[in-house]
């Protein structure tokens, strides 16, 4: 199966014939995410080509399916883990500890100690207490400081909660050095689903300014972690992953010294397009006879895999058995008894007028942040099932 992408001006679709074929040939008792492992490999290779010398640390949280981790290990990927659980997952499947970074800036002390015992030597931090914890429980480790960066225009921004300012970053590096750690470099996250590589420019400017200030303060930095943000196709045109990653790396090369170690942490861009959810319509209703909108209730909602519809930030594409027929606006909602479980209401979704209870609905390109976001069983609805092909 080959993906086709186009430039920014074109409209296009990413074919997922293998996933659709598999789903068409199977019955599912509950909402099921089907993952095409070969497509993960295609994405990995496309990103790796564009990223050139940068090491790929797959952000495990995007989709921790063991089969995905296993395939990525075979391809030579490294991993960004956020917890003991993610570290154990990667190690258990044979990842070498040298290839795992502990990238969460908020770590449990016992998890730091575990990672250190397991041989992991690279940790993220953005606060003084965290530097103390790492120095005490992973003595001698390498640390990179995560920077707070301005919002880039990402569809799913990751600002405010993580990162620190320039002056604090410099203080943390000095503290790390004084406590016997090695302050190796800087990290940031441009924001998830950053559709245009040009959106990276202003963020990279900010990070490069801190890098330079650190060098002037006498720190010999050699590690730049450019985080994630690599987009997936949800209906609005994006560049091919190789072109996108290449455009990001060109901007990095303009701002940072040659020969430094660069890491990238794609999550969404690695797995989103490798997944398709098979869901079902449970009910189509109108609140009154003259209601222009239909309410369409699916068997999957915010608490069973579609959490990224929060604020209607990520807009998934739906495939129905009636595509091509007349459509009308629908408010799309999940099955649970929580009124927050509405997926799209501010911007209703156009779905076929013929849609009815029992119809199968496919959700495209949802291999990232769905199974990992699914609750264990809110309201008795089972977590999103995952099938890997
Ligand atoms: C979630 C996360 C990523 C992955 O981000 P994507 O936008 O999905 O590529 C990368 N790095 C860190 C530190 C993260 O928390």
Residue of 227, 248, 367 with the most ligand 1 atoms within 8 Å of its CB, for mutation: 227
Residue in 92, 94, 60 with CA at minimum distance from that of residue 79:
60
369: left (phi over 0), alpha (psi -120 to 50) or beta: left
| Ligand 1 centroid, distance to 80 Cα (angstroms) | 8
Quote the domain boundaries for residue 100.
37-271
Atom of ligand 1 nearest to the CA of 194: 7
Residues 117 and 62 grouped into a single domain: yes
Residues 326 and 180 grouped into a single domain: no
Closest residue (by CA) to atom 10 of ligand 1?
228
Contact 102, 87 (CB under 8 A): yes
| Ligand 1 centroid, distance to 155 Cα (angstroms) | 13
Residues 244 and 278 grouped into a single domain: no
**Average pLDDT value for the chain:** 94
CATH number of the domain to which 289 belongs: 2.40.37.10
Question: Looking at the predicted structure, is the pLDDT value of residue 7 above 70?
Answer: no
10 Å CB burial of residue 113 (0-12, 13-18, 19+) is middle
Tokens of 107: 């770590």
62 Cβ below 6 A of ligand 1: yes
DSSP 150-193: ---S-SB---SSS-B-HHHHHHHHHHHHHTT-EEEEEE----BS
223 Cβ below 6 A of ligand 1: no
DSSP label of 209: H
Q: How far apart are CA 265 and CA 78, in angstroms?
A: 9
| Ligand 1 centroid, distance to 193 Cα (angstroms) | 10
Residue in 234, 223, 164 with CA at minimum distance from that of residue 192:
234
Residues 266 and 277 grouped into a single domain: no
Confidence at residue 147, expressed as pLDDT on a 0 to 100 scale: 98
Residues 46 and 80 grouped into a single domain: yes
Residues 304 and 368 grouped into a single domain: yes
Residue in 110, 113, 54, 115 with CA at minimum distance from that of residue 86:
115
CA distances 242 to 46, 51, 56, 248, Å, are 5, 7, 13, 10
**Cα–chain center distance at 70:** 18
Residue 270 pLDDT level (bands cut at 50, 70, 90): very high
pLDDT tens profile 223-267: 999 999 999 999 999 999 999 999 999 999 999 999 999 999 999
Atom of ligand 1 nearest to the CA of 62: 8
Least confident span in 35-44, 177-186, 376-385: 376-385
Question: Looking at the predicted structure, is the pLDDT value of residue 57 above 60?
Answer: yes
**Residue 73, SS3 per DSSP:** helix
pLDDT tens profile 119-175: 999 999 999 999 999 999 999 999 999 999 987 788 887 778 899 999 999 999 999
57 Cβ below 6 A of ligand 1: no
Residues 264 and 280 grouped into a single domain: no
Contacts of 346 (CB under 8 A, 6+ apart): 312
Atom of ligand 1 nearest to the CA of 368: 8
Contact 210, 169 (CB under 8 A): yes
Residue 14 pLDDT level (bands cut at 50, 70, 90): low
Q: Which range in 5-19, 58-72, 141-155 is most confidently predicted, on average pLDDT?
A: 58-72
| Ligand 1 centroid, distance to 190 Cα (angstroms) | 9
DSSP 10-65: -------HHHHHHHHT---SS-EEEE-HHHHHHHHHHHHHHHTTSEEEEEGGG---
pLDDT tens profile 367-385: 999 999 999 889 998 899 9
Residue ending a domain, among 242, 271, 300, is: 271
Residue 58 pLDDT level (bands cut at 50, 70, 90): very high
Tokens of 168: 């604090």
Q: How far apart are CA 329 and CA 340, in angstroms?
A: 20
Q: Is residue 97 part of a domain?
A: yes
Q: Is residue 20 part of a domain?
A: no
Residue 304 pLDDT level (bands cut at 50, 70, 90): very high
Q: Is residue 23 part of a domain?
A: no
Confidence at residue 3, expressed as pLDDT on a 0 to 100 scale: 38
230 Cβ below 6 A of ligand 1: yes
Residue in 128, 127, 99, 125 with CA at minimum distance from that of residue 112:
125
Residue of 80, 101, 313 with the most ligand 1 atoms within 8 Å of its CB, for mutation: 80
**How many structural domains comprise the chain?**
2
**Cα–chain center distance at 315:** 15
Question: Looking at the predicted structure, is the pLDDT value of residue 13 above 70?
Answer: no
Q: Is residue 27 part of a domain?
A: no
Residues 311 and 337 grouped into a single domain: yes
Q: Is residue 22 part of a domain?
A: no
Atom of ligand 1 nearest to the CA of 270: 9
Tokens of 86: 């993610």
The structure's pTM equals 0.95
Contact 81, 102 (CB under 8 A): yes
Contact 141, 163 (CB under 8 A): no
228 Cβ below 6 A of ligand 1: yes
Atom of ligand 1 nearest to the CA of 230: 9
pLDDT tens profile 74-111: 999 999 999 999 999 999 999 999 999 999 999 999 99
Residues 159 and 284 grouped into a single domain: no
Q: How far apart are CA 3 and CA 14, in angstroms?
A: 6
| Ligand 1 centroid, distance to 153 Cα (angstroms) | 16
Residues 279 and 251 grouped into a single domain: no
The residues annotated as belonging to the active site are 337
Question: Looking at the predicted structure, is the pLDDT value of residue 51 above 70?
Answer: yes
Tokens of 293: 């909108």
Residues 284 and 265 grouped into a single domain: no
Q: Is residue 172 part of a domain?
A: yes
| Ligand 1 centroid, distance to 286 Cα (angstroms) | 39
320: left (phi over 0), alpha (psi -120 to 50) or beta: beta
């Amino acid at each position: 199966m080959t993906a086709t992408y186009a430039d920014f001006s074109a409209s296009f679709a990413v074919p997922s014939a293998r996933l659709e074929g598999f789903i068409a040939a199977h019955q599912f008792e509950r909402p099921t995410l089907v993952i095409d492992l070969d497509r993960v490999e295609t994405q990995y290779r496309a990103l790796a080509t564009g990223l050139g010398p940068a090491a790929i640390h797959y952000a495990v949280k995007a989709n921790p399916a063991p089969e995905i981790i296993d395939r990525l290990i075979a391809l030579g990927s490294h991993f960004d883990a956020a917890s003991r659980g993610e570290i154990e997952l990667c190690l258990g499947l044979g990842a070498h500890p040298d290839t795992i970074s502990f990238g969460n800036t908020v770590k449990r002390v016992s998890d730091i100690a575990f990672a250190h015992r397991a041989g992991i030597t690279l940790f993220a931090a953005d606060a003084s207490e965290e530097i103390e914890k790492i120095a005490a429980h992973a003595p001698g480790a390498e640390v990179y400081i995560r920077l707070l960066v301005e919002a880039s225009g990402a569809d799913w921004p990751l600002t405010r909660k993580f990162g620190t300012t320039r002056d604090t970053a410099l203080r943390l590096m000095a503290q790390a050095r004084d406590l016997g750690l090695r302050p190796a470099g800087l990290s940031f996250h441009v924001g998830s689903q950053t559709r245009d590589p040009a959106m990276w420019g202003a963020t990279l400017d900010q990070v490069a300014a801190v890098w330079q200030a650190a060098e002037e303060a006498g720190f010999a930095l050699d590690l730049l972690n450019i985080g994630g943000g690599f987009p997936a196709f949800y209906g609005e045109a994006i560049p091919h992953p190789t072109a996108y990653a290449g455009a990001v790396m060109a901007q990095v090369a303009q701002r940072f010294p040659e020969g430094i170690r660069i890491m990238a942490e794609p999550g969404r861009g690695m797995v989103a397009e490798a997944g398709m959810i098979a869901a079902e319509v449970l009910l189509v209703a109108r609140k009154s006879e003259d209601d222009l909108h239909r309410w369409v209730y699916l068997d999957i909602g915010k608490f069973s895999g579609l959490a990224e519809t929060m604020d209607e930030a990520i807009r998934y594409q739906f495939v129905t058995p009636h595509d091509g027929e007349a459509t009308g606006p629908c408010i799309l909602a999940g099955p649970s008894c929580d009124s927050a479980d509405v997926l799209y209401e501010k911007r209703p979704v156009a779905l076929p007028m013929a849609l009815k209870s029992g119809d199968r609905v496919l959700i495209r390109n949802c291999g990232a942040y769905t199974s990992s976001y699914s609750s264990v069983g809110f309201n008795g609805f089972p977590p999103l099932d995952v099938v890997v092909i």
